[in-house]
Chains A and B, each alone.
Chain A
Amino acid sequence: MKSLQKIDIVARDLSDEVQKSTYLSSKAKTEKRMAILQKDFPEANRLREIAGEIKQHTLEHLDQYLAQAEASLKANGAHVHFANDAESANATILKIMQENGAKRMVKSKSMVTEEIHLLPYLEKHGMEVVETDLGEFIIQIDDDHPSHIVTPIIHKNRKDIAKSFEREGLGDYNDDPETITRRARAFLRQKYLDADVGLTGGNFVSAESGRVSLVTNEGNARFSVAANRIHIAVVGIEKIIPKDRDFSLFLNLIARSATGQQLTVYNQFINGPRSPGQPHGPEQMHVVFLDNRRTEVLASECREILRCIRCGACLNVCPIFRQAGGHAYRSVYPGPVGAVLSPLLAGNRFPELADLPKASSLCGACNEVCPVNIPIPDLLLRLRDKAKREKATDAMKGTPSLGLWATLCSQPAMWKTALSMGHTMNYIPTELIPHPSARAWQHNRKLPKFQGGEFRKWFRNRPPSSK
């Protein structure tokens, strides 16, 4: 169907199984989040607002805070690098490896490395890279893409995973989640010990101390760092927060919003190589601060999206994400956050993703759950406007022209008839509908039977007012 948008096509073709697992898991997470926030904090909503203001404040003073973070890290013996774009970041990481004679890398989950396609780049240059987060490891052996920023394999079930493990020689077919986990533990343990470099992302960076905070449940970031002589952290420049004190606010919020926990199991705060006398852990720490169009977003009227702490709550609550799944967004960042961020990060490929901001009913649930209070629906509207101004034709697909609508609305008699007759459209074969966009519209939708008219009837027959 030509007039369908790409996201509709993916949603239509999604298997029932994938749709169901995405839906159920998202729903469960949303409910857990609500319960714990309300139970733990009398002023939960105020906390979100404060967190949003702190991030907004930091972004609007980013030049100062980024320089401060750099200086703090350097003072603690860490190396700091800056990268304009994916290419520069990848080249910087490769160079660090080459200069140290490193061949093998274990990496923990990081959306930013998905964004810059680090893994294929390093492999092309002869490096061995292993994903260590269980979900990301499964994505890697399946040559797949994550469909959620927190739970990357939300689209897979245990049978799929058991088959992949069998194929990769990790044991006979066994779809017990505990067995799957133990096998991954045993396999990856050796990988940690054999590697030279541990690579991580960074959830927050304190400008005050330079501490890079890593938030994980599995312990893979701990192992990736502890078992290696070089630690590289790749971090978007928007991840800065002003002070160490702010960690208490953000860690409380990210754990509850992402997974409904009070605190994520492991929160690491690292600002340099290992301490004197410590036998394990890196002799070198490198932090790569990545721009990759974030400064463009900062200059745009959608800069609030840079507050995002990647908790995934907006994905879980979104009716579109629940139906369409993460892959429908055709980019690294799915869901409401992705509908804003992905087209912006695409630069001059904006028109290719300009349909994403339309994949929303503007119900506002994403704004309501966002721990940094990002007005996502407003940003979506701004991007729809941008798409229109930039004549992004893909984004217009399936939208009926409003001319017919306008005529209808300006003629009361016609309007009334149309209302009561509308559902008869359901009985007209779509090919026979004369107007092309009405045809497209009707192809995917059924109009309900008109049940109104009561108010007008009542108004006409109402008893005369006593005054």
Chain B
Amino acid sequence: MSNDRDSIFSEIKKALDPLPERTPYPQWDDSMTVCHAHPEFNSAKELFAHKLAEASGRYFDSVQILAQFLREEGNTFGYCDPELASLFEGLDGISFETEYDLAKVDTYQFGITTGSTGIAESGTIMLKDGETSARLGALAPWVHVAVIRQEDIVPTIGDAISRFGDDPSVIFCTGPSKTADVEGILIQGVHGPGVQVALVV
């Protein structure tokens, strides 16, 4: 409410005015927050694959092997971003729809959408709203496959933040959805995907 706004700002001013001095914004270097606790790799892509696995995610760089994985787990019907459909057409035993049907929210076993960026230092997949064909397609199915271009894998979290642009809803996904609420025991697949996949092309 508008008078609440005025009173909050005037209370803040009243609280701060008597301060003899104010703490300055500290100097810090972006490299300080980068985690180096991992073996050396030749490329950001390899580190990304390593970190993704550490976060219980699945890394693939071949559509055929991914299809094999989906079949083995019995996840053969899903949703796919229409722009990515050509990559997955004609795969044995795999079928999908390119128009998200809300009535099938629990029928889709996998969802394939675009991942805008991969973060190597943490194995994180970054989703941007403007590049995601359907939010629920990336969230509701048991398996989410984010298709990421190799050149979109960046070394650090800071690099990914600088790619936010003006997208209104950016999401970092680091591994599958999980909880440890019940006696601290780790369970994967709470509300979001139980299996998080990155397909790097």
CB of B12 within 8 Å of the partner chain: yes
Interface residues on A, range: 35 or more
**B residues within 8 A CB of A185?**
189-191
Q: Are B135 and A211 in contact, with the CB atoms below 8 A?
A: no
Counting chain B residues whose Cβ lies within 8 A of the other chain, the interface size class is 35 or more
Q: Is residue A134 contacting chain B, with contact meaning CB distance below 8 A? A: yes
Bound-state CA distance A272–B167 (Å) is: 9
Give residues 131-165 of A contacting B (CB, 8 Å).
132-135, 138, 151-153, 157-158, 161
Q: Which chain B residues lie closer than 8 Å to A39 at the CB level?
A: 37
Interface residues of A in 154-195 (CB under 8 A from B): 157-158, 161, 177-178, 180-182, 184-185, 188-189, 192-193
Cβ contact of B189, chosen from A54, A76, A157, A181, cutoff 8 A: A181
Q: Is A209's CB under 8 angstroms from B11's CB?
A: no
CA distance A252 to B156 in the complex (A): 12
- Among A81, A152, A226, A291, the most chain B Cβ lie within 10 Å of the Cβ of A226
Contact with A along B171-189 (1 / 0, CB 8 A): 1111111111111110101
Q: B19 at the A/B interface (Cβ < 8 Å)?
A: yes
Q: Is A25 a contact partner of B12 (Cβ separation < 8 A)?
A: no
Select which of B132, B183, B190 is within 8 A of A220 by beta carbon: B190
Query: Which of A138, A209, A252, A285 has its CB near the most chain B CB atoms (within 10 A)?
Result: A252
Query: Given that A177-B185, A291-B11 are known contacts, is A222 also in contact with B105, CB under 8 Å in the complex?
Result: no
Is A82 interfacial (CB-CB < 8 Å)?
A: yes
Complex contact A54–B25 (CB within 8 A): yes
Cβ-based interface call for B100 (8 A): yes
Min distance, Cβ B159 to any Cβ of chain A, angstroms = 9
The stretch of A40-48, A333-341, A390-398, A414-422 in contact with B is A40-48
Report A30-45 CB contacts with B as 1/0, cut-off 8 Å: 0000000001110100
- The contact string, 1 if C-beta is below 8 Å from chain B, for chain A 258-275, is 010111111111111111
Question: Looking at the complex, which one of B28, B130, B173 makes contact with A249 (CB distance below 8 Å)?
Answer: B28
Chain A residue contacts of B183, Cβ below 8 A: 21, 25, 157-158, 177
Q: Which of A82, A134, A219, A249 contacts B8 (CB 8 A)?
A: A82
Which residues of A pack against B, CB within 8 Å? Answer: 21, 24-25, 28, 39-41, 43, 46-47, 50, 53-54, 56-57, 60-63, 66-67, 76-77, 81-84, 88, 92, 132-135, 138, 151-153, 157-158, 161, 177-178, 180-182, 184-185, 188-189, 192-193, 209, 211, 217-220, 222-223, 225-227, 237, 242, 244-245, 247-249, 251-252, 259, 261-281, 285, 289, 291, 295-296, 298-299, 303
Jot down 23 A-B pairs with beta carbons below 8 A, ordered by A: A28-B184, A50-B32, A61-B22, A63-B13, A76-B168, A81-B1, A88-B4, A177-B187, A180-B182, A181-B187, A189-B105, A189-B140, A189-B191, A192-B191, A218-B191, A219-B193, A248-B33, A252-B35, A262-B35, A266-B171, A269-B169, A274-B129, A275-B168
